[in-house]
Amino acid sequence: MNRFRTIIGAIVVFTIGGELNIRAQDASTNRWEKSASLGATVTEGNSDTLLIVADILASRKWQQDELSLGASLAYGENEGVKNNETLRAFAQYNRLFTDRFYAYARVEGLHDSIADVDYRVTLSPGVGYYFIKNERMRLSGEAGPGVVFEKQGGEEKTYLTARLAEKFEFKINDRARIWQSLEFLPQIDDLNNFLLNAEIGVESALTKKTSLRVYAQDTYDNEPAADREKNDIKLVAAVVLKF
């Protein structure tokens, strides 16, 4: 866990340093888009359960640069027994060469004690393309090599991977949007070892600064730690504050 905290700290330093470098190159007045969300479920009586999910997201676009940052936390108990403890953080920088074609660098860290993942850090450079890009809709695809550093089931492992990903977002109107993403990470020299991350959600504004977000996340690990399930699914409803 200490090593994971060190990795997350490095991600923060990396992203702050990258942002300062971009700011020095481009004095654009474009502002950050930031939001934080919190969802909680508590039951008492015949069953005592607790689930808390929180995340924070930030993004900013310049004329030729895009930066996205995020971190999320999930913690749950059932009858006093911990059944969920996940911490995830990511940073992605895109450099646009045309209005649609770009190169990217991405770093992501994960800690999941229930899945017996002490840490998993993925570094991935690559290229991407916006197949659809307008005010209401965006659809992009990304591909590139990567490297994974992980400690799962008490075993440390480093391996090369490929990364294939797509992202979709549609603004239904000024108050509502839907989105979906899919990411496939196979180990290059062992295709039986792969990760699949998927998300789909909808968000609707409540006020100018708040909204309701409902989304589902699916994490599939084809070679999980011993005595662990391959699939982890979360369905979350959360209140979002934009600032």
Could you read off the pLDDT of 69-105 as tens digits, one per residue?
999 999 998 888 888 899 999 999 999 999 999 999 9
* Whether the Cβ atoms of residue 118 and residue 3 lie closer than 8 Å to each other: yes
**Mean pLDDT on 200-228:** 93
Tell me, what's the pLDDT at 3?
Answer: 41
pTM score above 0.85: no
pLDDT in tens, 1-33: 444 444 444 334 333 344 344 444 444 446 899
Matching CATH number, 2-242, of 3.40.50.150, 2.40.50.140, 2.40.160.40, 3.40.50.720: 2.40.160.40
Residue 106 pLDDT level (bands cut at 50, 70, 90): very high
Query: At 11, which helix (H) or strand (E)?
Result: helix 2-25
pLDDT in tens, 119-158: 999 999 999 999 999 999 999 999 999 999 999 999 999 9
Tell me, what's the pLDDT at 100?
Answer: 95
Q: Give CA–CA dist 23/21, Å, rounded.
A: 5
Q: Give CA–CA dist 97/79, Å, rounded.
A: 54
- The percentage of the chain sitting over the pLDDT mark of 90, rounded to a whole number, equals 70
Tell me, what's the pLDDT at 86?
Answer: 93
Q: Looking at 56-60, 135-139, 232-236, which range is the least confident one?
A: 232-236
Q: Which residue ranges make up each domain of the chain?
A: 2-242
Tell me, what's the pLDDT at 148?
Answer: 96
* Whether the Cβ atoms of residue 131 and residue 139 lie closer than 8 Å to each other: yes
Tell me, what's the pLDDT at 65?
Answer: 95
Tell me, what's the pLDDT at 140?
Answer: 97
CA distances, 233 to each of 54, 67, 196, 219, 220 (Å): 16, 27, 12, 6, 9
* Residues 107-129 as b or e (16 or more Cβ within 10 Å = b): bbbbbbebbbbbbbbbebebebe
Q: Residue with structure tokens 């409803």?
A: 237
Tell me, what's the pLDDT at 21?
Answer: 44
pLDDT in tens, 182-196: 999 999 999 999 999
Asked whether the predicted pLDDT for residue 34 surpasses 80, the reply is: yes
Pick the more confident residue, 234 or 206: 206
